[in-house]
Amino acid sequence: MLWVVVGLAGVSLVMLIVGGVAALILYGHTQTRQGPQVGKEVMNDVMNDPTLPPQRGGYQKSFFVGQGIEIQRSATISFATLKQMIAAGNCLYTLVALTAIFGFVGVLFFSAIAVLFLMPNLVGLAFTLPVFYLLVRMLIDFIRA
């Protein structure tokens, strides 16, 4: 039974990845900036990155002279928009977003069930209760939207 749950979590993960990539392609907005100010911002972010190891000479300030390019791609769609599109009968357009949402919900749900199979005690329950709370809150937010 555990392998079935793990397999369903894997299928949900594939749905999440495919739906997320397709949503970026279909709904995505690309923002491109370039110029000297962008280069300074990028270099400042690199210098202030806490995950990078410190330099031998301590903190060194860098001065950037040149051009920088920044490209951002994002895709957003709200529950209210999804409900309106489904009510209008435009189900094919919402299929991509619903695939990503159901994939996300499936990964959370089936992973929590797998944890309950692996740890059938209070520790497993303590790990899964926040996940179930999150899923119930998502359902309530979808209904209210």
Provide the residue-wise pLDDT of the chain in tens; the chain has 145 residues: 888 999 999 999 999 999 988 888 887 778 887 777 776 676 666 666 666 666 644 455 556 566 777 787 777 888 888 888 888 888 877 888 889 999 999 999 999 999 988 888 888 888 889 999 999 998 898 888 7
CB atoms < 10 A from the CB of 144, how many?
Answer: 8
Phi first, then psi: what are they for 32, rounded to 5°? -125, 130
Euclidean distance between CA atoms 25 and 95, whole angstroms:
13
CB atoms < 10 A from the CB of 92, how many?
Answer: 8
* Judgement on whether residues 143 and 116 belong to the same structural domain of the protein: yes
Tell me the H-state helices in 28-121: 36-47, 79-87, 91-118
Whether residue 73 contacts residue 29, with contact meaning beta carbons closer than 8 Å, is answered with: yes
What is the token pair recorded at 135? Answer: 């899923």
* Judgement on whether residues 117 and 139 belong to the same structural domain of the protein: yes
* Judgement on whether residues 84 and 19 belong to the same structural domain of the protein: yes
Euclidean distance between CA atoms 36 and 83, whole angstroms:
43
* Judgement on whether residues 21 and 91 belong to the same structural domain of the protein: yes
Chain-centre distance of CA 142, in angstroms?
A: 17
Q: What angle do CA 48, 54, 59 make, to 5 degrees?
A: 65
The domain total for the chain is 2
* Judgement on whether residues 130 and 110 belong to the same structural domain of the protein: yes
- Give residue 122's domain range: 1-28+76-145
